[in-house]
Chains A and B, each alone.
Chain A
Amino acid sequence: MDEYSILVVEDNPDDQVLTVRALKNASRNSSIVVLEDGQEALDFLFGSGSEEPCVNLDLLGVILLDIKLPRVSGLEVLKKIRASTRTDWLPVVMITSSDEPAELVEAYRLGANSYIKKSIDYSEFSDQMAILARYWLTVNKVPKAGSVRQL
């Protein structure tokens, strides 16, 4: 069976490279989609205007969502994902540099599945990504989008 794909929403190019590297090391077969900001993520998931969304949600295993994003913040994207029946079942992991308690509380209040503080030590960060990929792509079960709609 094919691996799920991972959606990474991360604005910093360095972090994009390092995150993708850590994820690839942990799970070689998964396809990784990288988006630069919140608006791009919304367009990707919901389509922009007349265009249809260009993603098959059934193949999406987990979304790694940075909180601090230009234009539309990670928390706003999370809110929109949870507001639509099309996407509200998707696993969303918030990834952030800060450990502001208020932000942590807000993320869970809005329905995040997990909250991770990016470690400065890259070995630790790589471990975090490996655990994430292993848990969300192989351990965890996610309903297919179609079955969600039927219910």
Chain B
Amino acid sequence: MIGRWRLRYWPLKAKLLFLTLFTSTLGIILVSASLIVVENQNYRQRLASELHVIAGILAEQSAAALVFEDSNQLTSIISSLRRIGTIRQVCVFDAAGSLMSSLNPPESVDCPSTIEPSQMGFVGDYYQLSVPVTLDNETVGHLYLISHLRALRAHIQTFIVVVFGIGALIQLALVFVAFKLQRVVSQPILALSGTAERIAQEQDYSIRAPVSGNDELGRLGTTFNEMIGTIEQQNRRILESRAGLELIVEDRTSQLSLANKELEAFSYSVSHDLRQPLRAIDGFGQALEEDCADQLNETGKDYLRRIRAASVRMGSLIDGLLVLSRVTRQPLENQRVNISEMLQEITEELKEISYSLPTDIRIQSGIWVIGDGRMLRIAFQNLLENAWKYSSKEAQRVIDVSATSDSRFITIAICDNGVGFNMKYVNKLFVAFNRLHTPSEFGGTGIGLATVYRVIRRHSGDISAKSEVGKGASFYIKLPVLTDQH
């Protein structure tokens, strides 16, 4: 297992080389082994037949001497065999089986008294053979011959050395050739993987892999290049469209900031220039009323009062519009705001202005939200003023503020016991200049709730209202619960 895992991390070149060499080595070993076996076999056969020829010649020469039982003659015949190095021992027996003559090795081993056929042939380190000595087709004795196999061993050892030497030379040549040839396969793959790595590192999709040949590797390279080409094109398209989008965004942003600047300039001149004539109308109206009182009758004075009231109303309309435009364009600040305390403060201010009615105000404590304190103050001031105003005709004023929250939103409910409104008109409630009551019933500009709506929407919240005519109204302000980090 470990070997296999290690093989996985080898470079491709080494793997190819290893496989080639492994195969060729295996082949060379197998061929060498079979050559050695065959050679061993051949050499034994040759040795055996040589010995049989020698024994045959010897038997023919010694036949006469045996018949005449001439030991000396026999000894001289077999002594000539000493010169053949492979012969170890020669024994000559007469027909009765008694030893007539022998050629013994230096270690003086006696001739065997009987010759068993089973001991003939290759036995241990020796080759033994026995031939009958005949004269006119009559057996006159036996010749026993033992040859040792030193020559065979030496020959086979030499052969093995030669075979493995040649094998090693062939292997060397194969290593060289395989080293050269594996490039044909590994080079395109290495080039391809190198290209892929460069593309991944440099993120440069204009690089192409070199392609040679039309085999599988060539096609792989071509396909790879086509894929990179596609990616390059797509990247270019993405960049182009992003640049286009950025241009559009830039354009829109500059248009928006221009519009914002114009709005700012507009509201600045509104606050200065529209106010001034109103001030003049009201001021000269009062001057007329005071300085020329004796020249005006009651009707004239009534008209003057109406002119002055209208200019003051127009003034508060302008003020409301300015607040509305300010909460629209001012950047939002995010801070923790204690709504309970804020409502308490507003209530105190309202009590100072008008406290003619028994008033019961219940504000849940500890209502915290994240948002722009000044803007939220504008919104809640409007809401509380509304609750205050529209409950001013009841016997007792009851205003209740409570909050519920889940993981995403906190909902603050402001409920009064005032005149309420018809739910038919709920859609007009938060639109500027829409009023659900006549000025003679309740004064107002019709901008307050539009401003509240704008402030709450800018805080990514929502506002809704529920009411029934004569049974009070409830406003629900839903603000997202944010962490301080946002």
Contacts and interface: CB of A to CB of B under 8 A. Distances in A.
Interface of A: 12, 14-15, 18, 21, 68, 96-100, 118-123, 125-126
B278 A120 contact: yes
Contact of B272 (A98, A119, A123): A98
Interface residues of B, number: 22
B282 A122 contact: yes
6 contacts: A15-B279, A97-B272, A100-B268, A120-B282, A120-B314, A122-B286
B249 interface: no
Contacts of B271: 97-100
A123 B315 CA distance: 14
B311 A120 contact: yes
Given A97-B272, A98-B271, A18 B280 contact: yes
A14 B272 CA distance: 14
B272 A21 contact: no
Contacts of A125: 279, 283
Contact of B279 (A98, A99, A122): A122
A98 B269 CA distance: 9
B413 interface: no
A127 to B, nearest CB: 12
Given A12-B276, A15-B276, A68-B272, A121 B284 contact: no
Contacts of B148: none
Interface string B290-328: 000000000000000000100110110000001000000
B261 to A, nearest CB: 14
Nearest to B309: A121
Given A12-B276, A120-B279, 10 more contacts: A14-B277, A14-B284, A98-B271, A98-B272, A100-B271, A120-B275, A120-B314, A121-B312, A122-B308, A126-B286
A108 B85 CA distance: 134
Contacts of B315: 120-121
A120 B104 CA distance: 156
A123 B276 contact: no
Contacts of A100: 268, 271
A120 B312 contact: yes
A33 B283 CA distance: 20
Contacts of B273: 97
B287 interface: yes
A120 B312 CA distance: 6
3 interchain residue pairs of minimum CB distance: A120-B315, A98-B271, A14-B280
B285 interface: yes
Contacts of B278: 120
Nearest to A21: B287
Contacts of A96: 272
A125 B282 CA distance: 10
A15 B268 CA distance: 19
A97 B275 contact: yes
A15 B287 contact: no
B272 A122 contact: no
